[in-house]
């Protein structure tokens, strides 16, 4: 069983339609794939249809933009009721923050002498990658990575902050919506100090179910093994995933990291328990082939 629980489509900043994503997952030999676009569920319905057609197990998820002590943290939420009023309101607020950041980024880049139009960066859930792609298309930079390094990372001329939800409150919201949560790449990109084991323990006490350990952003095997040990110690589910973005992120091919079947089974058991505890909620089921 090959299981990849973190991928993006055009519903956020991937480059494939949900159908293309799910079809590519099947072609890559995956048995289970989760669609986890940033801050929304816009890709879910199409992904479900495609999964039924190509015959692959599909988990519906969201990668939510949160913050913890002023630092950004990505939270993977699996199988929450997408109509939960509190969760919906928070997702809408994040997307609204993204939408109002887009013109501010255009303005900031304009001050740096780079003209980007709003049309070029239009997206349902607009993010910095869309701006990066516009800079690549214009030939200002060669790759998304270069666009981030030169223009879009904090401290660079095109950087503008945006709203993010409170991490602990979001874990509680997703739980209330009958879903389960997993910290995405918590020790990636130099973020290790923001979420030491003691903080992860606190998040577990707030309802966190798992930690994404095997991820490209955890560049050293030592970091992964240490994080795995922390997760084990705290009895958290350990996941591994590609964080595939289509052509948008190199070196994140579908299935480049996977989740062990036993860990996936446990996560789905926790999801079933969360859904049962949130009875009356419209929690989605895992889509199973056949």
Residues in contact with ligand AMP by the rule CB under 6 A: 13, 65, 127-129, 144-145, 148, 249
CA pseudo-torsion sign 135, 137, 142, 144: positive
Given candidates 4, 6, 13, 176, which one binds Zn ion under the rule CB under 5 A? Answer: 13
CB of 107 closer than 8 Å to CB of 157: no
Q: Report how far apart, in Å, the C-alpha atoms of 152 and of each of 32, 64, 122, 160, 249 are.
A: 33, 20, 17, 8, 15
Q: Of the two residues 42 and 86, which places its CB atom closer to Zn ion in the complex?
A: 42
Q: Of the two residues 49 and 217, which places its CB atom closer to ligand AMP in the complex?
A: 217
Least distance between ligand AMP and beta carbon 140 (Å): 15
For 106, the token pair is: 């255009």
Determine the longest span between alpha carbons in the chain, in angstroms: 55
**Within its chain, how far is the Cα of 95 from the centroid?**
14
Query: Pattern 34-73, binding to Fe ion, x per CB under 5 A?
Result: -----------------------------x----------
Strands 3-4 and 32-38: parallel
Kindly indicate which of the ranges 8-16, 74-82, 108-116, 194-202 contains the residues binding Zn ion, using the contact rule CB under 5 A: 8-16
Least distance between Zn ion and beta carbon 38 (Å): 5
CA–CA distance, 168 with 189 (Å, rounded to integer): 21
Q: Of the two residues 178 and 246, which places its CB atom closer to ligand AMP in the complex?
A: 246
Least distance between Zn ion and beta carbon 197 (Å): 26
Q: Does 281 bind Fe ion (CB under 5 A)?
A: no
């Amino acid at each position: 069983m090959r299981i990849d629980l973190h991928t993006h489509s055009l519903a956020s900043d991937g480059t494939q339609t949900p159908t293309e994503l799910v079809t590519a997952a099947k072609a890559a030999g995956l048995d289970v794939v989760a669609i986890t676009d940033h801050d929304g569920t816009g890709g879910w319905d199409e992904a479900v249809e495609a999964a039924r057609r190509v015959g692959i197990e599909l988990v519906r998820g969201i990668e939510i933009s949160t913050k913890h002590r002023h630092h950004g943290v990505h939270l993977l939420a699996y199988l929450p009721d997408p109509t939960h009023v509190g969760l919906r309101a928070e997702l809408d607020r994040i997307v609204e923050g993204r939408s109002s950041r887009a013109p501010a980024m255009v303005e900031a880049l304009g001050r740096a002498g780079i003209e980007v139009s709003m049309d070029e960066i239009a997206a349902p859930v607009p993010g910095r990658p869309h701006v990066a792609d516009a800079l690549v298309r214009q030939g200002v930079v060669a790759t998304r990575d270069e666009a981030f390094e030169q223009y879009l990372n904090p401290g660079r001329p095109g950087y503008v902050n945006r709203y993010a939800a409170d991490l602990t409150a979001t874990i509680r919201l997703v739980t209330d919506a009958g879903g389960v949560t997993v910290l995405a790449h918590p020790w990636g990109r130099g973020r290790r100090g923001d979420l030491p084991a003691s903080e992860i323990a606190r998040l577990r006490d707030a309802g966190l179910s798992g930690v994404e350990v095997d991820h490209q952003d955890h560049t050293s095997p030592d970091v992964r093994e240490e994080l795995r040990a922390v997760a084990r110690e705290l009895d958290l589910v350990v996941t591994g995933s590609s964080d595939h973005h289509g052509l948008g992120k190199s070196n994140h091919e579908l299935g480049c990291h996977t989740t062990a079947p036993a860990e996936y089974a446990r996560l789905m058991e926790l999801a079933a328990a969360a859904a049962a505890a949130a009875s009356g909620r419209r929690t989605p089921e895992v889509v199973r082939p056949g």
